[in-house]
Amino acid sequence: MKFNYLLLGITIITLSSFSKENAEEKYTRKVDIVLQSSDGEKLIAKSDCIGCHKMDKKLIGPSYLEIANKYAANEKNISYLSNKIIKGGSGVWGSIPMGAHASMKKDEAKTIAKYILSLKK
């Protein structure tokens, strides 16, 4: 009986040594992917955007996906949306106005706009 357990143990160790995947590398890659987030996501998380906008459904304002699907990802639209973020406005998505974010820097607003437009499906 001891011989059978010994043989089983040797077989398991031998078979597991032929594995092509490096388990440590596999788990490291997954962690890296989870931890990566874009600068636009980070800026949105730090601002008050999440109070009115959600990723995939309308809250007070349109979802980020609705915005991405409405506008092409080009410099003209990035500039337009970044100005809207800073100055606020109304009328495009309904009568509820979007508040101004006057303290936000132009490059931060552009980063947010680029991120939102990158979500287009």
Domain residue ranges of the chain, discontinuous segments joined by +: 2-117
Cβ-Cβ contacts under 8 Å for 116 (sequence gap 6 or more): 40, 64, 67, 68, 81
Q: Is the pLDDT of residue 63 over 90?
A: yes
pLDDT of residue 97: 92
Does the 2-117 domain belong in CATH 3.20.20.120?
no
33-50 tens-digit pLDDT = 343 468 999 999 999 999
Angle between helices 106-117 and 39-46 (to 10 degrees): 110
Give the C-alpha separation, 61 to 90, whole Å. Answer: 10
Give this prediction's pTM. 0.69
